[in-house]
Amino acid sequence: MSVYTARLARSRPQGRRGRGYPVLAGFVLLALLMLAPFALVAMNALKTSADYAAHGPLAWPRSLSLDNLKTFWNLVDFSHVLLNSALISGAVAILAVLLSILNAYALGIGRVRGRTWIIVAFLIANLLPQEGLVYPLYYLAKQVGLYDTRTAVVIIFTVIQSAFGTYLLSSVLGAFPREILEAARIDGAGTWRILWRVVVPVSRPTLMVLLTFFFIWTWNEFLLPLVFLVSNQNQTVPVALGVAQGEHIVDVTMQAASGLLGILPAVAFFLVFQRTLTRGVTVGAVK
């Protein structure tokens, strides 16, 4: 290697990164701006009520206090509430992904006739205002004896979330490389086996994305759990967070504390699943 190319080789990595630093700085600033409101929540969750009353929400806490966090935790039996939310969100995430796979397989790869209208029909589940469904679902659930049960909530959200999953997955599967399917078919695989041995593994990044979204969306759902899970033992996190909001008075530091406790699990879940999102399977490997 000539001296010239050697010098070029040494200087190139730094040169390549050099122009990237302002961009990185910009993004870091953006990230901080996105996080600023969370910092505010955390700050006020750790204040005492008197501190908040005297100095307002934007001042640093004069003294850090875990009182609000502890009070809220015990008041709603937060560990139990967390379990409810985790169970429901987890079940919905898994079941909705499965349902989406089944639907999208038929629509995206099978190209069933009238698939545009079928997708639109499924999407109805997602685009209906939830208020419109509350009273009918309440009545139906009562008839079946599922009112005030977590099972009812899981079933309902599986259908609602899978609408989006069906739509996204069938769009992506619509562009699935035909050669792979042909190859598998030539190997003698039937539709069922192709689904689980070929389509699912290749679609893993999208499936993981769906899983993450479904979990988070279900976690944050408010109206239907509010209506369906009335007994305290069945309540989910967003419903329990309302405890700081009284009829006339809002206990702001308690609300911040409850908000902080409500955010942490969903954040943790996202961070865990983030790594799976990055790993994923690339189409290149199949080639």
The 200-229 contact track toward another protein, x by CB under 8 A, reads: xx---xx-xx--xx--x---x-x---xx--
Q: Applying CB under 8 A, does 230 fall inside the site for another protein? A: yes
In DSSP notation, 22-89 reads HHHHHHHHHHHHHHHHHHHHHHHHTS-HHHHHHH-TTSPPSS---HHHHHHHHHHTHHHHHHHHHHHH
Query: To 10 degrees, the CA torsion angle through 191, 192, 197, 199?
Result: 60
Bridge partners of 243, per DSSP, are none
| Of residues 208, 217, 219, 203, the one with CA closest to residue 262 | 219
Considering only 81, 198, 214, 218, the residue that binds another protein (CB under 8 A) is: 198
Q: Applying CB under 8 A, does 86 fall inside the site for another protein? A: no
Considering only 9, 25, 30, 183, the residue that binds another protein (CB under 8 A) is: 30
Least CB distance to another protein at residue 79 (A):
15
Considering only 69, 81, 82, 91, the residue that binds another protein (CB under 8 A) is: 91
Of 2-10, 60-68, 182-190: span binding another protein (CB under 8 A): 182-190
Considering only 69, 81, 82, 154, the residue that binds another protein (CB under 8 A) is: 154
Number of residues that bind another protein (CB under 8 A): 155
C-beta closer to another protein: residue 3 or 75: 75
Count of Cβ atoms closer than 10 Å to residue 58 Cβ: 8
